[in-house]
Chains A and B, each alone.
Chain A
Amino acid sequence: MYTSGKYSSRGPALIPRMKTKHRIYYITLFSVVLLGLIATGMFQFWPHSIESTADWTLDKRSVHDAPLIRLPVSSPIPERGDLSCRMHTCFDVYRCGYNPKNRIKVYIYPLQRFVDELGVPISSTGLSREYNDLLSAISDSDFYTDDVTRACLFIPSIDVLNQNSLRIRETAQALAMLPRWDKGMNHLLFNMLPGGPPDYNTALDVPRDRALLAGGGFSTWTYRQGYDVSIPVYSPLSADVDLPERQPGPRRYFILSSQTAIHREYRAELERLKEENGEALLLLDKCSNLSQGAASARKRCYKGQVYDYPQILQARWFWEAYFSSMKAIGLTTLQIINDRIYPYAARTYEQWNNPPVVKWSSVNSPLFLPLIPPRAPGFTAVVLTYDRVESLFRVITEISKVPSLAKLLVVWNNQNKSPPEETLWPKISVPLKVVRTKENKLSNRFFPYDEIETEAVLAIDDDIIMLTSDELQFGYEVWREFPDRLVGYPGRLHLWDHEMGKWKYESEWTNEVSMVLTGAAFYHKYFNYLYTYKMPGDIKNWVDAHMNCEDIAMNFLVANITGKAPIKVTPRKKFKCPECTAIDGLSLDQTHMVERSECINKFASVFGTMPLKVVEHRADPVLYKDDFPEKLKSFPNIGSL
């Protein structure tokens, strides 16, 4: 009835009042139509969105569906290409701009099929499988953007990998027709065969304005330094190559020549070398007795003996990283251009060239310059304390006697209690600062406080009162000669427990040292940064949760990044002070020791290796225990065990 009412309200103007019979008829008809429409809509929308969308429209296309573009004869031809082009003259760097990721954005033109006015294609192959692989790899990479306005580099979809299949003039015209061509600015062309026998070129002949060329077979005259990219020539056969692992031991051949089309002048020279050197030299050539084709291309022969090629070659890492596929070649090229546009974020020589084995085992100390820092700035003593005020004040008084002390920093780790009033603190000649922490954490000891203005930090517990002034000063002098190491007093050792099959912490007085306790140790402030911000895995939280092993963690960290052992100074073997009871001193508890063994195993697994280095030496003053008047020694008062 509602419907009819609606009709009745509108009715008079459009449809005259109808008889009930007709009305019913119309309502029925309309409902059917409406239902039909809805059903059609449902039918149209639903089934397709259930189907895999990836296959829909865009990807269900053949290369033959690409739009056909007809090139007028008079279409403009780009200039030949300027040999003086460099990044700063021919490249529009404004398109790349500042970018927090320091990564260029690359746009790929959609595929078009270019034909001349007679309908003849500009290339005999069209899109090749290799170029398609290359463009697919780029479009899948982080370099890709589909927003042409944000792109820094443009890659035409016109395949110019092989010049022999191209009509040069028409290809050039096609390039010039690209909507963003703009004299080839920021366009990158990939070419591997710049012409064929008999007269090879060294660079693509197609006139290309200022476009960059990633080319195979450049000569130093056609290659524009810092502008073009020289790329390898990909062999379609290499897709199926499976290189074997190199056998251990010395290589069998000293020199191996595997190129087939060597000029006879070269071959004559190689033959002469072969005569002189015999077995060490292997000269391979095409196999004459095999039929032509892909199979024969993967064989090389020497005097009837057949070798698998390229398995006989043994330079694996470079090939796999940069040459093995069109993807590797394409992305390497983009990375090289990226490095030029963002030189301050460029990959280093080692990053490019070190095989993974070396990357894993090598260390590059962050403090690599051999500097002996001057004595004058002195060191900052950082005392971690909770509430042992009396002991703390004694430590402060003792340390203040060390000549090179520059500043004392007390880290007050007790949130429930305020540090004593200023007037109660011992009067010392160097600045004394107190920082209060938000949480009682062990890692607060290694925080890079702004108050630490010296390179050298002396971490010291609030109960270490047995170290003499000479001993501490000597420790600082030794640190100056080893600013990239931990320099500490009592040494500890890690051992491999063969029965348990795991690492063990050793606090016995042994002949070896691989760690020093940080209850009193000198180190560079930089390691505070590393400890606080770069400690791998969950080590830092683990230490804070267990209130233990912060010193072991620091030893791991420093040894891992520098590859060097800590330096133990003077005979000191323990920190047990006469008046401290066994319960009070943390490190004395038996369970505590078990936990420290666990720490070593945990840290070793987080670091993925055992970075600690074992040494058998400690540093003593030059004249230590020598038969020489004590008063003439710089550090006569070196304490005992």
Chain B
Amino acid sequence: MQARKKYVLLGLCACCWLVLFYWGGGVQLRLLRLLTRHRGDVMRPWPNWTDRAFLPRYAHLDELQTDPGMAESPRQRRQAWSAIYKDSRCRMETCFDFSRCRRRGREGFRVYIYPSEKNDRVSESYRKILASIAESRYYTSDPREACLFVLGIDTLDRDQLSGQFVPNVDERIRGYPLWNDGRNHLIFNLYSGTWPNYTEDLGFNIGQAILAKASLNTEHFRPGFDVSIPLFSKDHPQKGGERGWLVRNTVPPRRKYLLMFKGKRYLTGIGSDTRNALHHIHNGKDIVSLTTCRHGKDWEKHKDARCDHDNLEYERIHKKWWKGSLNSYFCVYVCVQAACIPVLLSNGWELPFSDVIQWNQAVIEGDERLLLQVPSTVRAVGNERVLALRQRTQMLWEAYFSSVDKIVLTTLEIIKDRVFSHISRNKYMWNYLPGGLLVLPEYSTHLAHFPFYYLGLGVTPGQEFTAVIHAVSPLVSQSQPIMKLLQVVSKSKYCSQIIILWNSEKPPPSRSKWPPMPVPLTVTDGRRKTTSRFLPHVAIETEAVLSLDEDTVLLTSEVNFAFLVWRSFPERIVGYPPRSHFWDPLKRAWGYTSKWTNDYSIVLTGAAFYHRYYHYLFTHYLPQSLRTLVDRTSNCEDILMNFLVSAVTHQPPIKVAQRKQYKELPSPQGTKSVPWANPEHFNQRQECINTFANWFGYMPLVHSQFRLDPVLFKDQVSVLRKKYKDLERA
């Protein structure tokens, strides 16, 4: 009995021991986890496998290096692809004939417009699109040299219920000998299908044509092939266009309404869910959702309890904020112009010019499905970001959306960049001021070659300049002003070379006639064209150009000072004699004045520094018609250059100090009549200014009220202190 008890007890203890031992591991593990989780860093979720060093490689070297013999011929493959990847699967390499664009090298990008037929109804919007192309530098009237074809048939509105709908498009385009299943054709479209299920159906087969369409759906968008364009109304200006509405950068960015939705609340059909849900984030204070149920003809059939109240509210605030009826896509552009920040909840919408524009730097994108999170997302956006977003929307508006010209040209440039992808703009060029249209990649694809990117890249402008002297009178005496000018300019330590542009009727004198100089001198034939002074001569090797008339009177220190000022403002024109423009309300036209005024908007290019890129822009960006006008009148080239630079920078030129009034003295020779004393010359300039403003579509010139002087200019301090004392001598 005693022994049994003893054994029972012993057995119990042994059991306890075993149980504890057995469970111990588990307890320990749990305890360990508890400890390690507490410390936080020790536990590795993906184990450090003990045998990780022995794991096999994912591929053998010979799998990565293939044998060329086995592969299919690239030429055959390309052919095979063209046969397979057609229509909805088009890409540039399978559906676009590049050879058409390369017939004339870099000049090869030419656009042909089919003549429209007599009975064709062409809408106002399409007429504007065609006008933009016809006026662009890419237009050709010869289909043989064209790289891209645009239909004369209006395809903008493909809503069968619309009055603008053109029937039988299919049959007609099949009849075109150049149609070629749509290859190299560009088709513009703004509306397709109709409510409630806006489809992408255009009502005709576009084949392999590129579609430039507004409100494109990502599902049907052929990436790298189609172009998503903004929706615009028939009242959208052809040229120029209104500037954005942001005039001040208030801090903190003042907003009465944080979020606003304005639009039709579709009761059925696509988008109805999201629009109904908008109701839930409306709080009446800083988040406002304005909706109306009025849409189409039978809205009353579907109307719900909220409609009547909503309609009233909509009418009330809508009148205050917006005029006219706007499509919700269009709403975004109004918003972009008005410098509010669009919050886009547009699942599946391919944003306009999405190939090139970084929309996330200008709008707040969200997912429709996360609508209820939008308020917190928007509230979390900091002031700095709001400031940047607002400015970016303005930049995009002004660069790409404000006129039909810009929309159409952007479309063409995007396609051109694809065709000549080795000389195309990068995203930086598209998204930073002054925008892609003013950056010509044929000039350079290197950012540092353009004056407006210096700051963004952290580079400083070069230390030297090239003087380009425009010579029109023959060389008869060694005391001519040009001789003096050559000496003055060549003495500047910043001058690296001088180019004389010989535009006289007499042939240029022999090299020995020119004085010996410390810098290289080149004489170029200008063929007696006034615009030749702004040709992008290859001889110009420096970033800075000093443009001079042959009779300019300057001092070396004046040149030096102006050059240093230019280095602070490399994107502007820096010159001496100012002129001004004004609006003449009586004549309802722009006026030009050379009188002394308290402000100026032009500096004469008879003596001015600017970046050599403007030579390229002047020659290749401006239309032939304006350059012809300048050549025909031998006048206004300086005004045109000022227009161009101000259009790029949105800034006035800069006038620097000068010793005495330029060209106010009688010409030393006194024989030839000075052209600027001629009233005819003056009237021409008046006309020029209006012609130019007309082409630009707005007045790019901007007034300035200051001039830049040396820091001690005309101060009552010792002359010995002054670096530019020469400037003060009368």
Asked if A481 contacts B706 (CB within 8 A), the reply is yes
Is B249's CB within 8 Å of the partner chain A? Answer: yes
Asked if A625 contacts B458 (CB within 8 A), the reply is no
Asked if A61 contacts B458 (CB within 8 A), the reply is no
CB distance from A104 to the nearest CB of B (A): 13
CB distance from B37 to the nearest CB of A (A): 10
CB distance from A349 to the nearest CB of B (A): 5
Mask: chain B, 170-198; 1 = CB below 8 Å from A; 0 = not = 00000000000000000000000000000
One of B9-17, B326-334, B607-615, B689-697 at the interface? B9-17
CB distance from A609 to the nearest CB of B (A): 10
One of B232-240, B475-483, B716-724 at the interface? B716-724
Is B321's CB within 8 Å of the partner chain A? Answer: no
Is B120's CB within 8 Å of the partner chain A? Answer: no
Asked if A128 contacts B24 (CB within 8 A), the reply is no
- In the complex, which residues of chain A have a beta carbon less than 8 angstroms from the beta carbon of B370? 93-94, 97-98
Asked if B58 contacts A159 (CB within 8 A), the reply is yes
Is B586's CB within 8 Å of the partner chain A? Answer: no
- In the complex, which residues of chain B have a beta carbon less than 8 angstroms from the beta carbon of A573? 715
Asked if A129 contacts B715 (CB within 8 A), the reply is no
Is A2's CB within 8 Å of the partner chain B? Answer: no
Complex: A161 Cα to B704 Cα, angstroms: 63
Asked if A617 contacts B711 (CB within 8 A), the reply is yes
Chain A, interface size: which category?
35 or more
- In the complex, which residues of chain A have a beta carbon less than 8 angstroms from the beta carbon of B51? 62-64
Complex: A22 Cα to B20 Cα, angstroms: 28
Q: Which of B650, B708, B722 contacts A619 (CB 8 A)?
A: B708
- In the complex, which residues of chain A have a beta carbon less than 8 angstroms from the beta carbon of B32? 48-49, 53, 56-57
Is B474's CB within 8 Å of the partner chain A? Answer: no
Asked if B715 contacts A641 (CB within 8 A), the reply is yes
Is B64's CB within 8 Å of the partner chain A? Answer: yes
Is A437's CB within 8 Å of the partner chain B? Answer: no
Asked if B706 contacts A369 (CB within 8 A), the reply is no
- In the complex, which residues of chain A have a beta carbon less than 8 angstroms from the beta carbon of B597? 622
- In the complex, which residues of chain B have a beta carbon less than 8 angstroms from the beta carbon of A415? none
Asked if B373 contacts A236 (CB within 8 A), the reply is no
CB contact under 8 A between A61 and B578, given known A344-B360, A348-B358, A358-B458:
no
Asked if B46 contacts A40 (CB within 8 A), the reply is no
Asked if B384 contacts A366 (CB within 8 A), the reply is yes
Mask: chain B, 307-332; 1 = CB below 8 Å from A; 0 = not = 00000000000000000000000000
Within A290-309, which residues are at the interface with B (CB < 8 Å)? 292-294, 297
CB distance from B318 to the nearest CB of A (A): 27
One of A508-516, A542-550, A587-595 at the interface? A508-516
Complex: A574 Cα to B651 Cα, angstroms: 31
Asked if B457 contacts A358 (CB within 8 A), the reply is yes
Complex: A618 Cα to B361 Cα, angstroms: 36
One of A242-250, A261-269, A384-392, A426-434 at the interface? A261-269
Within A197-230, which residues are at the interface with B (CB < 8 Å)? 197-198, 220-221, 225-226
Is B540's CB within 8 Å of the partner chain A? Answer: no
Complex: A89 Cα to B369 Cα, angstroms: 10
- In the complex, which residues of chain B have a beta carbon less than 8 angstroms from the beta carbon of A483? 249
Asked if B44 contacts A59 (CB within 8 A), the reply is yes
CB contact under 8 A between A53 and B42, given known A350-B428, A374-B247, A491-B711:
yes
One of B134-142, B290-298, B387-395, B636-644 at the interface? B387-395
Within A619-641, which residues are at the interface with B (CB < 8 Å)? 619-626, 628, 632-635, 640-641
Mask: chain B, 561-592; 1 = CB below 8 Å from A; 0 = not = 10011001000000000100000000000000
One of A461-469, A497-505, A564-572, A577-585 at the interface? A564-572
Is B74's CB within 8 Å of the partner chain A? Answer: yes
Mask: chain A, 604-622; 1 = CB below 8 Å from B; 0 = not = 0000000001011111111
CB contact under 8 A between A97 and B711, given known A366-B388, A478-B705:
no
One of A169-177, A181-189, A439-447, A523-531 at the interface? A523-531
Instruction: Please give me the residue from chain B that is nearest to A477 by CB atom.
Output: B705
CB contact under 8 A between A509 and B59, given known A136-B46, A225-B223:
no
Complex: A130 Cα to B57 Cα, angstroms: 7
One of A4-12, A29-37, A69-77, A399-407 at the interface? A29-37
Complex: A293 Cα to B61 Cα, angstroms: 8
CB contact under 8 A between A511 and B723, given known A93-B369, A192-B59, A226-B218:
yes
- In the complex, which residues of chain B have a beta carbon less than 8 angstroms from the beta carbon of A221? 85, 89, 91
CB distance from A506 to the nearest CB of B (A): 12
CB distance from A343 to the nearest CB of B (A): 4
Instruction: Please give me the residue from chain B that is nearest to A568 by CB atom.
Output: B711
Is B282's CB within 8 Å of the partner chain A? Answer: no
- In the complex, which residues of chain B have a beta carbon less than 8 angstroms from the beta carbon of A63? 49, 51-52, 55
Asked if B49 contacts A513 (CB within 8 A), the reply is no
Is A289's CB within 8 Å of the partner chain B? Answer: no
Asked if A526 contacts B249 (CB within 8 A), the reply is yes
Is A377's CB within 8 Å of the partner chain B? Answer: yes
CB distance from A154 to the nearest CB of B (A): 13
Asked if B598 contacts A621 (CB within 8 A), the reply is yes
CB distance from B376 to the nearest CB of A (A): 6
Asked if A366 contacts B35 (CB within 8 A), the reply is no
Within B419-473, which residues are at the interface with A (CB < 8 Å)? 427-428, 431, 433, 455-459
CB distance from A472 to the nearest CB of B (A): 14
Is A288's CB within 8 Å of the partner chain B? Answer: no
Asked if A127 contacts B55 (CB within 8 A), the reply is yes
- In the complex, which residues of chain B have a beta carbon less than 8 angstroms from the beta carbon of A61? 47, 49-50
CB distance from A464 to the nearest CB of B (A): 20
- In the complex, which residues of chain A have a beta carbon less than 8 angstroms from the beta carbon of B223? 220, 225
Q: Which of A22, A265, A339 contacts B75 (CB 8 A)?
A: A265
Is B517's CB within 8 Å of the partner chain A? Answer: no
Asked if A477 contacts B706 (CB within 8 A), the reply is yes
CB contact under 8 A between A261 and B66, given known A88-B347, A237-B61, A358-B457:
yes
Asked if B455 contacts A365 (CB within 8 A), the reply is yes
Q: Which of B13, B249, B716 contacts A33 (CB 8 A)?
A: B13
Mask: chain A, 124-140; 1 = CB below 8 Å from B; 0 = not = 01111111100110111
- In the complex, which residues of chain B have a beta carbon less than 8 angstroms from the beta carbon of A619? 706-709
Is A372's CB within 8 Å of the partner chain B? Answer: yes
Is B678's CB within 8 Å of the partner chain A? Answer: no
Considering the complex of A and B, which 9 residue pairs feature the smallest CB-CB distances, nearest first? A361-B458, A88-B347, A128-B58, A139-B46, A343-B365, A369-B391, A129-B55, A634-B598, A617-B708
Known interface pairs A161-B58, A633-B598; 12 further A-B residue pairs with C-beta atoms within 8 A, sorted by A's residue number: A40-B21, A41-B20, A49-B32, A54-B44, A56-B32, A88-B347, A129-B52, A192-B58, A193-B58, A367-B387, A474-B705, A617-B561
Q: List 13 A-B contacts (CB under 8 A).
A: A37-B17, A98-B373, A136-B48, A263-B74, A343-B364, A366-B387, A369-B394, A524-B251, A525-B250, A571-B715, A615-B565, A619-B707, A622-B704
Residues of B near any A CB (own CB < 8 A): 2, 5-6, 9-10, 13, 16-17, 20-21, 24, 28-29, 31-32, 35-36, 42-52, 55-59, 61-68, 70-75, 85, 89, 91, 218-219, 221, 223-224, 246-252, 347-348, 358, 360-361, 364-370, 373, 376-377, 380-381, 383-384, 387-388, 391, 394-395, 427-428, 431, 433, 455-459, 561, 564-565, 568, 578, 596-600, 649-652, 655-656, 702, 704-717, 721-724
